Amino acid sequence: MRLAVIAGDGIGPEVVTEGLKVLREVAPDVEPTHYDLGAMRWQRTDELLPDTVLDELRGHDAILLGAIGDPSVPPGILERGLLLRLRFELDHHVNLRPARLFDGVTSPLADPGPVDMLCVREGTEGPYVGNGGVLRKDTPQEVATEVSLNTAFGVERVVRYAFERAVTRPRKHLTLIHKTNVLTHAGGLWSRTVEEVSAEFPEVTVAYQHVDAASMFFITDPGRYDVIVTDNLFGDIVTDIAAAVTGGIGLAASGNLDVSGTNPSMFEPVHGSAPDIAGQGIADPTATVLSVGLLLEHLGRTEQARKVNAAVAFDLSTRSPQGPVRTTDVGDRLAALASG
């Protein structure tokens, strides 16, 4: 397995080290190549993602990413120039974010009940395209725009993927989240696409919710959701709500998938570089390890993925609740469990 590793900034390298530790236990054939990208490289060289590096990345089976971001860099530079550029150039149109409340994990909700949802967030369109601009900057007449682009091609492929996942799950339920009553242009495309594709999946029941209503139900009744499909921006928000109710961003894994297989998919914890705790060895690497689980699943290494996920589930069920975490301890424990 040729694996490109972008450890990145802040706690990125710390959690990636543990992710690789666990990965090596279950997949001894992994050949990691490290790429130095992120805030430090940009500070040093002004480079974000050189084309030659992008080309090299394309030659791998998958990418493992830690975290990108540093307070010394103005907002948008690293996000648009590196993280989002990777997602867009590598056509990561499915941003996959499971949210499951593991046994032993404390939810901030008083009575969460069982939660096991799979958010399928579109990854290459919507308001994330960077379209828009600024006119008369820094004057009282300034106008700034952001354009959300949505194509039948882009919406259809992510909706189809969501149905394909839903049909394999026990509840076979899919919820579209959008804001069709206000964003009528894009909302119409999303609604019609879900309706059309649903005809091919008669076993899947379909629901629709406005993003504001869904944001409430994620809190008052998260157990009602099975698979969710939504656009890039709404997905950014609701997956963080889902992460919060299932124990926080320390456990939230994600995969940026090019489902066609043309480009390597990229796996990353949902959390950021957390500069406030970087270097202290107290970042929870669990989200990275779960992202490794998604990576293995994506590569069809089902048994290896099962081992990683089972290790995490067992570890969480026996961890002292909300106790302090030592990054390397968690990694050591998970590696030992996964190898067993």
Residue carrying structure tokens 């120039």: 81
| Interaction between residue 146 and a second copy (CB under 8 A) | yes
Q: Which of 36-44, 57-65, 76-84, 161-169 is the region at the interface with ligand IPM (rule: CB under 6 A)?
A: 76-84
Q: Which residue, 235, 324, 266, 299, is CA-closest to 37?
A: 266
Q: Looking at beta carbons only, is 22 or 48 nearer to a second copy?
A: 48
Q: Looking at beta carbons only, is 211 or 335 nearer to a second copy?
A: 211
Specify whether the CB–CB gap between 266 and 86 falls below 8 A.
yes
| Interaction between residue 216 and ligand IPM (CB under 6 A) | no
- H helix or E strand, kind and range, residue 34: strand 31-34
Mode of pairing for the β-strands spanning 62-67 and 227-230: unpaired
Q: Which of 11-19, 78-86, 133-141, 144-152 is the region at the interface with ligand IPM (rule: CB under 6 A)?
A: 78-86
| Interaction between residue 148 and a second copy (CB under 8 A) | yes
Q: Looking at beta carbons only, is 229 or 335 nearer to a second copy?
A: 229
| Interaction between residue 153 and a second copy (CB under 8 A) | yes
Measured at the CA of 164, the angle between CA 124 and CA 227, to 5 degrees, comes to 75
157-172: b (≥16 Cβ within 10 Å) or e = bbbbbbbbbbeeeeee
3-state SS, residue 256: strand
Q: Which residue, 61, 102, 34, 17, is CA-closest to 295?
A: 61
**Residues 191 to 230: which contact a second copy by CB under 8 A?**
191-192, 211-213, 215-216, 219-220
Residues in the site for a second copy, rule: CB under 8 A?
75-76, 79-80, 84, 107-111, 127-128, 130, 132-134, 136-153, 156, 179-189, 191-192, 211-213, 215-216, 219-220, 233, 236-241, 243-245, 248-249
Residues in the site for ligand IPM, rule: CB under 6 A?
79, 83-84, 181-182, 212, 236, 270
